């Protein structure tokens, strides 16, 4: 079975030696994804805006490897402050309300204080059909 990788170009990928997403067979695994854009943090101190940007990056990574957001079967959401859980959960619901993957949301210390949310995902290509 061959492995395909997708890199989004963030400095973190090169520094830590990982891919944004990897596809093996019909499985796509997406690394923890923050609201880091080409010019740095996107969304400022708005946890919902950061979650939307992270989910956009996740959707793009999955598409680059031949999948769709509808193929997502698991998400893991990490918030730096549990007080932000509902704002982030609402964004998750906007994107996944019809898909209904399994999900975990936990409070965690993230890579920097400006990061309010990090999301990872697993997809099985064809699961959303």
- CATH code of 34's domain: 3.30.1330.40
In a domain, 9, yes or no: yes
Task: Report phi then psi at 66, rounded to 5.
Answer: 90, 10
Q: What's the pLDDT score for residue 128?
A: 78
For strands 72-79 and 102-107, give the pairing. parallel
In a domain, 129, yes or no: no
Those residues with Cβ within 8 angstroms of residue 27's Cβ, 6 or more apart along the chain or in another chain: 122, 123, 124, 125
Whole-model pTM: value is 0.95
In a domain, 17, yes or no: yes
Mean pLDDT for the stretch of residues 79-90: 98
How many domains does the chain fold into?
A: 1
Q: Which tokens hold the place of 56?
A: 């956009």
Q: Which domain holds residue 68?
A: 3-124
Q: What's the pLDDT score for residue 1?
A: 79
Residues in the chain: 129
Condensed to tens digits (0 to 9), the pLDDT of residues 4-38 reads 999 988 888 888 999 999 999 999 999 999 999 98
Which stretches within the chain are classed as H helix?
11-16, 47-64, 85-96
In a domain, 57, yes or no: yes
């Amino acid at each position: 079975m061959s492995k395909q990788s997708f890199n989004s170009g963030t400095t973190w990928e090169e520094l830590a030696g990982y891919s944004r997403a990897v596809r093996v067979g019909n499985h796509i695994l997406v690394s923890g994804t923050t609201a880091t854009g080409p010019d740095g943090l996107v969304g400022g101190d708005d946890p919902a805006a950061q979650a939307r940007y992270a989910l956009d990056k996740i959707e793009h990574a999955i598409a680059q490897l031949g999948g769709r957001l509808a193929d997502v079967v698991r998400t893991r959401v990490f918030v730096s402050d549990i007080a932000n859980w509902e704002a982030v959960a609402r964004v998750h619901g906007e994107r996944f309300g019809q898909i209904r993957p399994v999900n975990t949301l936990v409070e965690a210390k993230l890579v920097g204080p400006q990061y309010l949310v990090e999301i990872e995902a697993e997809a099985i290509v064809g699961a959303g059909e």
